[in-house]
Amino acid sequence: LPHHDLQAALTMELSTRQSPHHLIIVLISTLIIQHFAAVNSIGVNYGTLGDNLPPPAQVAAFLKDKTVIDSVKIFDTNPDILRAFANTGISVTVTVPNGDVPGLANIRVARRWVDAHIKPFYPQTKINFILMGSELLHWGDANMISHLVPAMQTLHHALVRAGMKGIKVTTAHSLGILASSNPPSAARFRPGLDRQVLAPMLQFLRKTKSPFMVNPYPYFGYSPKDANFVLFRRNRGKRDRFTGIVYTNMYDSLMDSVYSAMKSLGYGDVGIAVGETGWPSLGEPWLTHCTVENARWHNLNVFKKANSGVGTPLMPHRRFETYIFALFNENQKPGSVAEKNFGLFRPDFSPVYDIGIMRGGQHGGHVTPRPTPVAVGGKKWCVPKAEASDAALQANIDYACSKGVDCRPVQAGGACFNPSTVRSHASYVMNTFYQTNGRQDYNCDFGHTGVITTVDPSYGACKYI
Protein backbone atom coordinates (compact mmCIF):
# COMPACT_ATOMS: atom_id res chain seq x y z
CA LEU A 1 0.00 0.00 0.00
CA PRO A 2 1.12 3.59 -0.51
CA HIS A 3 2.21 5.33 2.68
CA HIS A 4 -1.00 7.36 3.14
CA ASP A 5 -3.25 4.33 2.42
CA LEU A 6 -1.38 2.16 4.89
CA GLN A 7 -1.59 4.93 7.49
CA ALA A 8 -5.37 5.15 6.95
CA ALA A 9 -5.76 1.38 7.24
CA LEU A 10 -3.88 1.37 10.53
CA THR A 11 -6.03 4.21 11.86
CA MET A 12 -9.23 2.34 10.95
CA GLU A 13 -7.92 -0.82 12.59
CA LEU A 14 -7.08 1.17 15.71
CA SER A 15 -10.65 2.50 15.91
CA THR A 16 -12.13 -1.02 15.86
CA ARG A 17 -9.66 -2.81 18.12
CA GLN A 18 -8.74 -0.91 21.25
CA SER A 19 -6.85 -3.45 23.39
CA PRO A 20 -3.69 -1.99 24.96
CA HIS A 21 -1.54 -4.69 23.36
CA HIS A 22 -2.95 -3.94 19.91
CA LEU A 23 -2.62 -0.21 20.53
CA ILE A 24 1.11 -0.63 21.15
CA ILE A 25 1.55 -2.68 17.98
CA VAL A 26 -0.29 -0.11 15.87
CA LEU A 27 1.62 2.81 17.36
CA ILE A 28 4.93 1.09 16.69
CA SER A 29 3.84 0.33 13.13
CA THR A 30 2.86 3.97 12.64
CA LEU A 31 6.22 5.17 13.91
CA ILE A 32 7.98 2.78 11.54
CA ILE A 33 5.96 4.12 8.60
CA GLN A 34 6.72 7.70 9.62
CA HIS A 35 10.40 6.83 9.94
CA PHE A 36 10.63 5.40 6.46
CA ALA A 37 8.62 8.28 5.04
CA ALA A 38 11.11 10.71 6.60
CA VAL A 39 14.35 9.09 5.52
CA ASN A 40 16.02 9.26 2.16
CA SER A 41 15.49 12.93 1.45
CA ILE A 42 17.95 15.61 0.47
CA GLY A 43 18.12 19.27 -0.45
CA VAL A 44 19.64 20.69 -3.60
CA ASN A 45 20.90 24.06 -4.82
CA TYR A 46 18.78 25.27 -7.73
CA GLY A 47 20.85 27.64 -9.86
CA THR A 48 19.58 29.26 -13.05
CA LEU A 49 22.71 30.29 -14.96
CA GLY A 50 21.87 28.45 -18.16
CA ASP A 51 20.16 29.26 -21.46
CA ASN A 52 18.72 25.77 -21.82
CA LEU A 53 17.14 25.14 -18.42
CA PRO A 54 13.49 24.09 -18.06
CA PRO A 55 10.94 26.55 -16.65
CA PRO A 56 10.47 26.58 -12.86
CA ALA A 57 7.00 25.01 -13.02
CA GLN A 58 8.42 21.95 -14.77
CA VAL A 59 11.30 21.78 -12.29
CA ALA A 60 8.95 21.89 -9.31
CA ALA A 61 6.71 19.17 -10.78
CA PHE A 62 9.70 16.97 -11.60
CA LEU A 63 11.20 17.24 -8.12
CA LYS A 64 7.85 16.60 -6.44
CA ASP A 65 6.77 13.66 -8.57
CA LYS A 66 10.01 11.99 -9.60
CA THR A 67 12.57 12.54 -6.84
CA VAL A 68 13.02 12.40 -3.06
CA ILE A 69 14.42 15.95 -3.05
CA ASP A 70 12.38 17.75 -0.39
CA SER A 71 14.05 21.16 -0.26
CA VAL A 72 15.72 23.58 -2.64
CA LYS A 73 18.00 26.54 -2.07
CA ILE A 74 17.98 29.43 -4.52
CA PHE A 75 20.40 32.33 -4.77
CA ASP A 76 17.80 35.10 -4.91
CA THR A 77 14.06 35.52 -4.39
CA ASN A 78 13.02 34.72 -7.96
CA PRO A 79 9.22 35.14 -7.97
CA ASP A 80 8.71 32.62 -10.79
CA ILE A 81 10.48 29.95 -8.74
CA LEU A 82 8.64 30.86 -5.54
CA ARG A 83 5.28 30.65 -7.36
CA ALA A 84 6.25 27.34 -8.98
CA PHE A 85 6.91 25.65 -5.63
CA ALA A 86 3.62 26.73 -4.06
CA ASN A 87 1.65 23.81 -2.58
CA THR A 88 4.32 21.26 -3.51
CA GLY A 89 5.43 20.57 0.05
CA ILE A 90 9.02 21.23 -1.00
CA SER A 91 10.82 23.67 1.28
CA VAL A 92 12.53 26.67 -0.28
CA THR A 93 15.52 28.60 1.06
CA VAL A 94 15.94 32.08 -0.45
CA THR A 95 18.95 34.38 -0.45
CA VAL A 96 19.36 38.11 0.02
CA PRO A 97 21.93 39.50 -2.46
CA ASN A 98 25.12 40.55 -0.71
CA GLY A 99 24.72 44.15 -1.84
CA ASP A 100 21.30 44.43 -0.17
CA VAL A 101 22.55 43.36 3.26
CA PRO A 102 23.53 46.77 4.74
CA GLY A 103 20.15 48.30 3.99
CA LEU A 104 18.28 45.51 5.77
CA ALA A 105 19.76 46.58 9.07
CA ASN A 106 17.06 49.29 8.94
CA ILE A 107 13.74 47.98 10.22
CA ARG A 108 11.66 49.94 7.71
CA VAL A 109 13.71 48.59 4.82
CA ALA A 110 13.47 45.08 6.27
CA ARG A 111 9.68 45.30 6.58
CA ARG A 112 9.36 46.53 2.99
CA TRP A 113 11.64 43.72 1.84
CA VAL A 114 9.47 41.11 3.58
CA ASP A 115 6.31 42.65 2.08
CA ALA A 116 7.80 42.58 -1.43
CA HIS A 117 9.73 39.30 -1.49
CA ILE A 118 8.17 36.94 1.07
CA LYS A 119 4.59 37.92 1.90
CA PRO A 120 3.16 37.35 -1.63
CA PHE A 121 4.29 33.70 -1.58
CA TYR A 122 4.21 32.53 2.03
CA PRO A 123 2.80 30.18 3.35
CA GLN A 124 1.63 28.62 0.06
CA THR A 125 5.33 28.32 -0.75
CA LYS A 126 7.05 26.68 2.20
CA ILE A 127 9.90 29.13 2.76
CA ASN A 128 11.99 27.78 5.61
CA PHE A 129 15.18 29.88 5.56
CA ILE A 130 16.27 33.31 4.41
CA LEU A 131 20.02 33.50 3.92
CA MET A 132 21.48 36.94 4.57
CA GLY A 133 23.94 37.02 1.70
CA SER A 134 26.04 34.21 0.27
CA GLU A 135 29.49 33.56 1.72
CA LEU A 136 29.52 37.24 2.61
CA LEU A 137 32.38 36.94 5.10
CA HIS A 138 34.50 35.77 2.16
CA TRP A 139 33.22 37.99 -0.67
CA GLY A 140 31.82 41.03 1.14
CA ASP A 141 33.48 44.33 1.90
CA ALA A 142 33.90 45.83 5.38
CA ASN A 143 30.54 47.64 5.21
CA MET A 144 28.66 44.48 4.33
CA ILE A 145 30.42 42.49 7.04
CA SER A 146 29.76 45.08 9.75
CA HIS A 147 26.04 45.11 8.89
CA LEU A 148 25.62 41.34 8.53
CA VAL A 149 24.50 40.42 12.06
CA PRO A 150 22.40 43.58 12.57
CA ALA A 151 20.63 42.85 9.28
CA MET A 152 19.95 39.25 10.35
CA GLN A 153 18.48 40.47 13.62
CA THR A 154 16.38 43.17 11.99
CA LEU A 155 15.01 40.87 9.30
CA HIS A 156 14.06 38.36 11.97
CA HIS A 157 12.12 41.05 13.83
CA ALA A 158 10.39 42.07 10.59
CA LEU A 159 9.34 38.46 9.95
CA VAL A 160 8.00 38.03 13.49
CA ARG A 161 6.09 41.27 13.20
CA ALA A 162 4.57 40.06 9.92
CA GLY A 163 3.45 36.80 11.56
CA MET A 164 6.14 34.69 9.86
CA LYS A 165 8.19 33.57 12.85
CA GLY A 166 8.46 30.08 11.32
CA ILE A 167 10.94 31.41 8.75
CA LYS A 168 14.48 31.28 10.10
CA VAL A 169 17.24 33.73 9.22
CA THR A 170 20.82 32.58 8.83
CA THR A 171 23.69 32.93 6.36
CA ALA A 172 26.01 30.52 4.54
CA HIS A 173 29.78 30.49 5.02
CA SER A 174 32.69 29.17 3.05
CA LEU A 175 35.25 27.38 5.21
CA GLY A 176 37.52 30.36 4.66
CA ILE A 177 36.11 31.53 8.00
CA LEU A 178 38.44 29.00 9.67
CA ALA A 179 41.99 29.97 10.55
CA SER A 180 42.88 26.29 10.25
CA SER A 181 41.08 22.98 10.05
CA ASN A 182 43.82 20.51 10.89
CA PRO A 183 43.55 18.80 13.25
CA PRO A 184 39.77 19.19 13.54
CA SER A 185 39.74 19.45 17.34
CA ALA A 186 42.05 22.48 17.23
CA ALA A 187 40.18 24.39 14.53
CA ARG A 188 39.36 28.02 15.28
CA PHE A 189 37.69 30.89 13.46
CA ARG A 190 39.83 33.57 11.89
CA PRO A 191 40.92 36.33 14.26
CA GLY A 192 38.89 39.43 13.55
CA LEU A 193 35.82 37.39 12.66
CA ASP A 194 35.59 35.18 15.73
CA ARG A 195 34.63 37.56 18.55
CA GLN A 196 33.51 40.54 16.48
CA VAL A 197 31.16 38.83 14.01
CA LEU A 198 30.71 35.10 14.56
CA ALA A 199 30.15 35.13 18.33
CA PRO A 200 27.21 37.58 18.13
CA MET A 201 25.92 35.71 15.08
CA LEU A 202 25.99 32.40 16.94
CA GLN A 203 24.25 34.02 19.89
CA PHE A 204 21.48 35.17 17.54
CA LEU A 205 21.23 31.71 15.94
CA ARG A 206 20.99 30.06 19.36
CA LYS A 207 18.24 32.46 20.42
CA THR A 208 16.21 31.92 17.24
CA LYS A 209 16.96 28.18 17.00
CA SER A 210 18.46 28.64 13.54
CA PRO A 211 21.38 26.62 12.16
CA PHE A 212 24.90 27.80 11.44
CA MET A 213 25.19 27.07 7.70
CA VAL A 214 28.51 26.12 6.08
CA ASN A 215 29.65 25.03 2.63
CA PRO A 216 32.17 22.19 3.06
CA TYR A 217 33.72 21.14 -0.26
CA PRO A 218 36.19 18.24 -0.01
CA TYR A 219 36.57 18.76 -3.78
CA PHE A 220 38.60 21.91 -3.16
CA GLY A 221 40.94 19.98 -0.88
CA TYR A 222 41.65 17.27 -3.44
CA SER A 223 45.19 16.09 -4.07
CA PRO A 224 46.21 12.82 -5.71
CA LYS A 225 47.82 11.52 -2.52
CA ASP A 226 44.63 12.18 -0.54
CA ALA A 227 42.18 11.05 -3.24
CA ASN A 228 40.71 8.17 -1.23
CA PHE A 229 40.41 10.28 1.92
CA VAL A 230 38.61 13.05 0.02
CA LEU A 231 36.30 10.67 -1.85
CA PHE A 232 35.05 8.46 1.01
CA ARG A 233 37.07 5.50 -0.26
CA ARG A 234 39.00 3.03 1.87
CA ASN A 235 42.14 4.63 3.30
CA ARG A 236 44.38 4.56 6.36
CA GLY A 237 42.74 7.69 7.76
CA LYS A 238 44.17 10.77 9.43
CA ARG A 239 44.66 10.86 13.18
CA ASP A 240 43.81 13.91 15.25
CA ARG A 241 46.82 14.09 17.54
CA PHE A 242 44.84 15.75 20.34
CA THR A 243 41.80 13.46 20.48
CA GLY A 244 43.21 10.27 18.97
CA ILE A 245 40.25 10.13 16.58
CA VAL A 246 41.10 8.67 13.18
CA TYR A 247 39.16 10.38 10.39
CA THR A 248 38.49 8.26 7.33
CA ASN A 249 37.05 11.04 5.13
CA MET A 250 37.57 14.77 4.67
CA TYR A 251 33.87 15.59 4.95
CA ASP A 252 33.68 14.52 8.61
CA SER A 253 36.97 16.26 9.27
CA LEU A 254 35.68 19.57 7.89
CA MET A 255 32.39 19.34 9.75
CA ASP A 256 34.16 18.63 13.05
CA SER A 257 36.51 21.55 12.40
CA VAL A 258 33.49 23.86 12.20
CA TYR A 259 32.08 22.34 15.37
CA SER A 260 35.36 22.79 17.25
CA ALA A 261 35.56 26.43 16.22
CA MET A 262 31.98 27.01 17.37
CA LYS A 263 32.58 25.18 20.63
CA SER A 264 35.67 27.28 21.33
CA LEU A 265 33.40 30.34 21.40
CA GLY A 266 30.90 28.56 23.65
CA TYR A 267 28.33 27.69 20.98
CA GLY A 268 28.78 23.97 20.43
CA ASP A 269 25.05 23.49 21.01
CA VAL A 270 24.01 25.50 17.92
CA GLY A 271 22.89 23.30 15.04
CA ILE A 272 24.83 23.05 11.78
CA ALA A 273 23.41 22.84 8.26
CA VAL A 274 25.27 22.13 5.02
CA GLY A 275 24.38 24.81 2.49
CA GLU A 276 26.50 23.48 -0.34
CA THR A 277 28.69 20.52 -1.12
CA GLY A 278 29.28 18.74 -4.40
CA TRP A 279 31.66 17.48 -7.03
CA PRO A 280 31.87 18.27 -10.78
CA SER A 281 31.39 15.45 -13.27
CA LEU A 282 33.54 17.17 -15.91
CA GLY A 283 36.43 19.62 -15.89
CA GLU A 284 39.40 20.78 -17.87
CA PRO A 285 41.54 17.96 -19.31
CA TRP A 286 44.12 18.33 -16.57
CA LEU A 287 41.46 18.00 -13.83
CA THR A 288 41.37 14.24 -14.06
CA HIS A 289 39.47 13.94 -10.78
CA CYS A 290 36.44 15.71 -12.30
CA THR A 291 34.68 12.57 -13.48
CA VAL A 292 31.18 11.16 -13.39
CA GLU A 293 32.32 8.33 -11.14
CA ASN A 294 33.97 10.64 -8.59
CA ALA A 295 30.97 12.98 -8.57
CA ARG A 296 28.62 10.04 -8.13
CA TRP A 297 30.63 8.49 -5.32
CA HIS A 298 31.09 11.75 -3.42
CA ASN A 299 27.45 12.79 -3.62
CA LEU A 300 26.18 9.27 -2.95
CA ASN A 301 28.11 9.26 0.32
CA VAL A 302 26.89 12.75 1.22
CA PHE A 303 23.32 11.58 0.53
CA LYS A 304 23.77 8.49 2.70
CA LYS A 305 25.39 10.50 5.50
CA ALA A 306 22.60 13.09 5.47
CA ASN A 307 20.02 10.34 6.00
CA SER A 308 21.92 8.01 8.31
CA GLY A 309 21.86 9.99 11.54
CA VAL A 310 25.35 8.70 12.28
CA GLY A 311 26.79 12.20 12.58
CA THR A 312 30.54 12.75 12.91
CA PRO A 313 33.15 11.69 15.48
CA LEU A 314 32.67 14.90 17.51
CA MET A 315 28.93 15.16 16.77
CA PRO A 316 27.63 11.58 16.97
CA HIS A 317 23.99 10.86 16.11
CA ARG A 318 23.39 14.32 14.71
CA ARG A 319 21.59 14.99 11.43
CA PHE A 320 22.55 17.90 9.23
CA GLU A 321 20.12 19.46 6.80
CA THR A 322 22.08 19.18 3.55
CA TYR A 323 21.89 20.83 0.14
CA ILE A 324 23.90 19.24 -2.67
CA PHE A 325 25.36 21.55 -5.27
CA ALA A 326 23.76 21.54 -7.77
CA LEU A 327 20.48 20.58 -9.40
CA PHE A 328 21.49 21.25 -13.03
CA ASN A 329 24.60 21.66 -15.10
CA GLU A 330 24.62 25.39 -15.90
CA ASN A 331 26.19 26.28 -19.23
CA GLN A 332 26.33 30.04 -18.61
CA LYS A 333 27.97 29.92 -15.21
CA PRO A 334 31.18 31.97 -15.29
CA GLY A 335 34.50 30.30 -14.69
CA SER A 336 35.91 26.91 -15.51
CA VAL A 337 34.39 23.91 -17.24
CA ALA A 338 34.13 22.28 -13.81
CA GLU A 339 32.00 25.14 -12.48
CA LYS A 340 29.47 24.45 -15.23
CA ASN A 341 29.23 20.73 -14.45
CA PHE A 342 28.23 20.28 -10.81
CA GLY A 343 24.70 19.22 -11.73
CA LEU A 344 22.87 16.07 -10.73
CA PHE A 345 20.72 16.48 -13.83
CA ARG A 346 21.01 17.68 -17.39
CA PRO A 347 18.54 20.33 -18.58
CA ASP A 348 16.30 17.60 -20.07
CA PHE A 349 15.95 16.07 -16.56
CA SER A 350 18.07 13.02 -17.43
CA PRO A 351 20.41 12.19 -14.53
CA VAL A 352 24.11 12.78 -15.05
CA TYR A 353 24.40 9.89 -12.57
CA ASP A 354 22.11 8.33 -9.98
CA ILE A 355 22.69 8.52 -6.25
CA GLY A 356 19.33 7.03 -5.28
CA ILE A 357 17.21 10.19 -5.42
CA MET A 358 14.78 9.02 -8.12
CA ARG A 359 11.43 7.70 -6.92
CA GLY A 360 10.82 4.13 -8.00
CA GLY A 361 14.27 3.91 -9.57
CA GLN A 362 17.52 2.32 -8.56
CA HIS A 363 18.68 3.30 -5.10
CA GLY A 364 22.09 1.71 -5.12
CA GLY A 365 23.88 4.74 -6.46
CA HIS A 366 24.41 3.55 -10.01
CA VAL A 367 24.57 5.99 -12.87
CA THR A 368 21.44 6.34 -14.98
CA PRO A 369 22.94 6.86 -18.43
CA ARG A 370 21.31 8.18 -21.54
CA PRO A 371 19.93 5.34 -23.65
CA THR A 372 22.26 4.01 -26.31
CA PRO A 373 21.41 1.89 -29.34
CA VAL A 374 21.46 -1.84 -28.73
CA ALA A 375 24.07 -3.55 -30.86
CA VAL A 376 23.23 -6.40 -33.18
CA GLY A 377 23.87 -9.52 -31.17
CA GLY A 378 24.08 -7.36 -28.02
CA LYS A 379 27.77 -6.51 -28.47
CA LYS A 380 29.01 -2.98 -27.72
CA TRP A 381 32.43 -1.38 -27.40
CA CYS A 382 33.73 1.82 -25.82
CA VAL A 383 35.91 4.19 -27.86
CA PRO A 384 37.04 7.82 -27.54
CA LYS A 385 34.84 10.60 -28.82
CA ALA A 386 36.17 12.29 -31.97
CA GLU A 387 36.59 15.62 -30.16
CA ALA A 388 38.41 14.19 -27.13
CA SER A 389 41.85 15.73 -26.62
CA ASP A 390 45.05 13.74 -26.27
CA ALA A 391 45.49 15.11 -22.76
CA ALA A 392 42.10 13.80 -21.70
CA LEU A 393 42.71 10.45 -23.37
CA GLN A 394 46.09 10.06 -21.70
CA ALA A 395 44.36 10.73 -18.39
CA ASN A 396 41.87 7.98 -19.26
CA ILE A 397 44.74 5.58 -19.93
CA ASP A 398 46.39 6.44 -16.62
CA TYR A 399 43.13 6.04 -14.75
CA ALA A 400 42.11 2.71 -16.30
CA CYS A 401 45.57 1.19 -15.94
CA SER A 402 45.67 2.26 -12.28
CA LYS A 403 42.35 0.43 -11.74
CA GLY A 404 43.74 -2.94 -12.74
CA VAL A 405 43.11 -2.98 -16.51
CA ASP A 406 45.64 -5.15 -18.34
CA CYS A 407 47.48 -2.47 -20.33
CA ARG A 408 50.27 -4.71 -21.60
CA PRO A 409 48.76 -4.98 -25.13
CA VAL A 410 49.37 -1.22 -25.68
CA GLN A 411 52.93 -1.34 -24.36
CA ALA A 412 55.94 -1.80 -26.63
CA GLY A 413 55.79 -5.25 -28.20
CA GLY A 414 52.08 -5.67 -27.43
CA ALA A 415 49.49 -6.60 -30.07
CA CYS A 416 47.86 -3.14 -29.86
CA PHE A 417 50.98 -0.98 -29.50
CA ASN A 418 50.86 0.14 -33.14
CA PRO A 419 49.79 2.65 -34.18
CA SER A 420 51.68 4.22 -31.29
CA THR A 421 49.25 7.10 -30.68
CA VAL A 422 47.47 8.23 -27.55
CA ARG A 423 44.10 7.86 -29.24
CA SER A 424 44.71 4.30 -30.39
CA HIS A 425 46.03 3.22 -27.00
CA ALA A 426 43.17 4.97 -25.20
CA SER A 427 40.64 3.22 -27.39
CA TYR A 428 41.88 -0.20 -26.38
CA VAL A 429 42.31 0.66 -22.69
CA MET A 430 38.95 2.43 -22.34
CA ASN A 431 37.14 -0.47 -23.94
CA THR A 432 38.89 -3.00 -21.72
CA PHE A 433 37.88 -0.97 -18.65
CA TYR A 434 34.30 -0.83 -19.93
CA GLN A 435 34.12 -4.56 -20.69
CA THR A 436 35.66 -5.69 -17.40
CA ASN A 437 33.51 -3.44 -15.18
CA GLY A 438 30.10 -4.77 -16.09
CA ARG A 439 29.52 -3.14 -19.50
CA GLN A 440 27.46 -0.39 -17.89
CA ASP A 441 27.25 2.67 -20.13
CA TYR A 442 28.51 4.94 -17.36
CA ASN A 443 31.79 2.99 -17.41
CA CYS A 444 32.36 4.46 -20.87
CA ASP A 445 31.75 8.04 -19.86
CA PHE A 446 35.33 8.99 -18.88
CA GLY A 447 34.37 12.59 -18.19
CA HIS A 448 32.28 12.79 -21.38
CA THR A 449 35.22 11.67 -23.58
CA GLY A 450 33.99 8.12 -24.30
CA VAL A 451 31.19 6.87 -26.52
CA ILE A 452 29.50 3.51 -27.08
CA THR A 453 29.79 1.97 -30.55
CA THR A 454 28.33 -1.13 -32.15
CA VAL A 455 31.21 -1.37 -34.64
CA ASP A 456 34.01 -3.70 -33.58
CA PRO A 457 37.20 -1.56 -33.38
CA SER A 458 39.51 -4.60 -33.56
CA TYR A 459 42.22 -4.56 -36.25
CA GLY A 460 44.88 -7.05 -37.33
CA ALA A 461 46.27 -8.86 -34.32
CA CYS A 462 44.72 -6.31 -31.95
CA LYS A 463 41.53 -7.94 -30.76
CA TYR A 464 39.14 -5.92 -28.56
CA ILE A 465 37.31 -7.94 -25.92
In the chain, count H helices and then E strands.
Answer: 13, 14
End-to-end CA distance of the chain: give it in Å, rounded.
Answer: 46
Q: What is the 3-state secondary structure (H, E, C) of 118-157?
A: CCCCCCCCCEEEEEEEECHHHHCCHHHHHHHHHHHHHHHH
Instruction: Give yes or no for a contact between 173 and 213, defined as CB atoms under 8 angstroms apart.
Output: yes
Instruction: Give yes or no for a contact between 275 and 210, defined as CB atoms under 8 angstroms apart.
Output: no
Instruction: Give yes or no for a contact between 96 and 148, defined as CB atoms under 8 angstroms apart.
Output: no
- CA gap 351, 298 in Å, rounded: 15
- CA gap 18, 22 in Å, rounded: 7
Return the CATH number at 191. 3.20.20.80
Same domain, 14 and 86: no
Identify which of 28, 3, 35, 1 has the alpha carbon closest to the alpha carbon of residue 14.
Answer: 28
The residue annotated as part of the active site, out of 13, 276, 284, 321, is 276
Same domain, 147 and 11: no
Higher pLDDT, 253 or 401: 253
* pLDDT digit string, tens, across residues 43-57: 999 999 999 999 999
What b/e sequence results for 160-169 when a residue is b if at least 16 CB atoms lie within 10 Å of its CB, and e otherwise?
Answer: eebebeebbb
State the pLDDT at residue 459: 83
For residue 184, what is the DSSP state? G
Judged against a pLDDT cut of 50, whether residue 462 lies above it is answered with yes
CA distance to 289, 339, 358, 409, 442, per residue, from 446 (Å): 10, 18, 23, 20, 8
Give me the mean pLDDT over the 426-454 stretch: 86
Same domain, 254 and 299: yes
Domain stops at, among 314, 340, 366: 340
pTM value is: 0.72
Percent of the chain with pLDDT over 90: 71
Same domain, 51 and 6: no
State the pLDDT at residue 387: 75
State the pLDDT at residue 16: 35
Same domain, 71 and 19: no
* pLDDT digit string, tens, across residues 100-131: 999 999 999 999 999 999 999 999 999 999 99
* pLDDT digit string, tens, across residues 251-306: 999 999 999 999 999 999 999 999 999 999 999 989 999 999 999 999 999 999 99
State the pLDDT at residue 318: 95
256, 257, 262, 268: CA torsion to nearest 10: 20
- CA gap 179, 194 in Å, rounded: 10
State the pLDDT at residue 23: 46
DSSP assignment of 12-66 equals HHHHH---HHHHHHHHHHHHHHHHHHHSS-EEEE-----SSPPPHHHHHHHHHHH
Q: Please report whether residue 348 resides in a domain.
A: no
Same domain, 25 and 113: no
The residue annotated as part of the active site, out of 135, 293, 321, 330, is 135
State the pLDDT at residue 157: 99
Same domain, 101 and 215: yes
Same domain, 126 and 139: yes
* pLDDT digit string, tens, across residues 21-32: 544 444 444 444
Q: Please report whether residue 244 resides in a domain.
A: yes
Identify which of 98, 170, 125 has the alpha carbon closest to the alpha carbon of residue 323.
Answer: 170
Residue 163: enclosing H or E segment and its boundaries?
A: none
* pLDDT digit string, tens, across residues 347-390: 999 999 999 999 975 443 444 333 333 333 568 899 988 777 88
Q: What SS3 state is found at 400?
A: helix
Judged against a pLDDT cut of 60, whether residue 20 lies above it is answered with no
Q: Please report whether residue 7 resides in a domain.
A: yes
Domain stops at, among 320, 340, 360: 340
276 among known catalytic residues:
yes
CA distance to 165, 183, 249, 459, per residue, from 240 (Å): 41, 5, 13, 55
The structural domain count of the chain equals 3
Give me the mean pLDDT over the 196-224 stretch: 97
* pLDDT digit string, tens, across residues 285-294: 899 999 999 9
Same domain, 262 and 202: yes
Higher pLDDT, 154 or 434: 154
Same domain, 26 and 83: no
Q: Please report whether residue 216 resides in a domain.
A: yes
321 among known catalytic residues:
no
State the pLDDT at residue 392: 85
Same domain, 328 and 390: no
Identify which of 272, 276, 277 has the alpha carbon closest to the alpha carbon of residue 262.
Answer: 272
pLDDT band at residue 220 using 50, 70 and 90 as cut-offs: very high
Q: Please report whether residue 355 resides in a domain.
A: no
Neighbours of 401 (CB within 10 A): 18
Query: Looking at 149-163, 280-294, 317-331, 378-392, which range is the least confident one?
Result: 378-392
State the pLDDT at residue 362: 41
Percent of the chain with pLDDT over 70: 88
* Radius of gyration of the chain from its Cα atoms, rounded to whole angstroms: 25
- Please name the residues in contact with 364: beta carbons below 8 A apart, sequence gap of 6 or more: 356
Instruction: Give yes or no for a contact between 266 and 249, defined as CB atoms under 8 angstroms apart.
Output: no
Instruction: Give yes or no for a contact between 55 and 333, defined as CB atoms under 8 angstroms apart.
Output: no
Give me the mean pLDDT over the 97-102 stretch: 96
Average pLDDT, the chain: 88
pLDDT band at residue 402 using 50, 70 and 90 as cut-offs: confident
For residue 386, what is the DSSP state? T
Query: Looking at 2-11, 52-61, 238-247, 382-391, which range is the least confident one?
Result: 2-11
Give me the mean pLDDT over the 317-335 stretch: 95
DSSP assignment of 63-112 equals HHHHB-EEEEE-SS--HHHHHHTTTS--EEEEEE-GGGTGGGGSHHHHHH
Q: Please report whether residue 361 resides in a domain.
A: no
Give me the mean pLDDT over the 14-24 stretch: 43
State the pLDDT at residue 378: 64
- Quote the domain boundaries for residue 286: 40-340
Q: Please report whether residue 462 resides in a domain.
A: no
Same domain, 265 and 193: yes
Sign of the CA dihedral running 428, 430, 433, 438: negative
Judged against a pLDDT cut of 50, whether residue 211 lies above it is answered with yes
Q: Please report whether residue 459 resides in a domain.
A: no
Domain stops at, among 288, 312, 340: 340
- CA gap 316, 147 in Å, rounded: 35
436, 438, 444, 446: CA torsion to nearest 10: -80
State the pLDDT at residue 324: 99
Judged against a pLDDT cut of 70, whether residue 327 lies above it is answered with yes
Identify which of 306, 202, 207 has the alpha carbon closest to the alpha carbon of residue 251.
Answer: 306
